Amino acid sequence: MISAGTIHVISTELTVGMFALAGISFLLCVIGKGPEVRESVAHWALLGGLLATPLAIISGFNAAPGDGLDSPLLANKLLLSMTATGLSLGLIIKWKRGAELDRVHAGIGMIATGLIMTTASIGGEFARGETLLFFLPKDLVFLFPKWASVIILILGLILIIKSTIEHRIRSRTSVP
């Protein structure tokens, strides 16, 4: 039987690798260099990383000693990985709806990549005591109060509904 730690390492490497490829491809999109397939590579790699992220999170919970979120490092890992997942999902949906890739779109893709890389570095700090981000505070968890989380959730739902309505109106008016 394979341990949860081994599955976590495999899924984390897959997630980080896919996000790194997406980040480099988004960077190439911003600077306008590289092959013509850079936009497709960026989004497909982002989707691959997005698909591997839940396995990395779940196996990380199972591999962590203790009750799961009893460490500020683990809470920050969860917060950052979920933020990266949300940003990535938004980019994939926008791309599948036919939106043009611009600097903002590519910039958000690079931010999602940076969040996953930060999460991986925090994981190294938690597991081995090694990190490239030694200047980050280790005992501070950035969490919103519940009322702010509810407001952001409501705003997010309103934006999704607004976007869906606009998309349906556009698709009805463009069909002859």
Same-domain status, 66 and 150: no
82 in the same domain as 18 = yes
Same domain, 78 and 38: yes
118 contacts 83 by C-beta, under 8 angstroms: no
pTM for the predicted model, two decimal places = 0.75
Question: Is the same domain home to 162 and 75?
Answer: no
Cβ partners under 8 Å of residue 104, min gap 6: none
State the Cα–Cα distance between residues 98 and 168, nearest whole angstrom: 13
- Are both 135 and 161 inside the same structural domain? no
The total number of structural domains in the chain stands at 2
What confidence category does residue 174 fall into, taking pLDDT thresholds of 50, 70 and 90? low
Q: What is the pLDDT of residues 73-119, one digit of tens each?
A: 777 888 888 888 888 998 998 888 887 888 888 899 999 999 998 88
The position carrying tokens 């190439």 is 28
Note whether 155 and 161 are within 8 A (CB): no
Domain match, 29 and 94 both: yes
Contact 19, 45 (CB under 8 A): yes
- CATH, residue 94: 1.20.120
- The span from the CA of 39 to the CA of 26, in Å, is 7
Give every CB contact of residue 44 below 8 A, 6+ residues apart in sequence. none
Tell whether 116 and 162 lie within a shared domain: no
122 with 176, same domain: the answer is no
Is pLDDT of 142 > 80? no
Structural domain boundaries, residue 152: 144-176
Residue type, 161: I
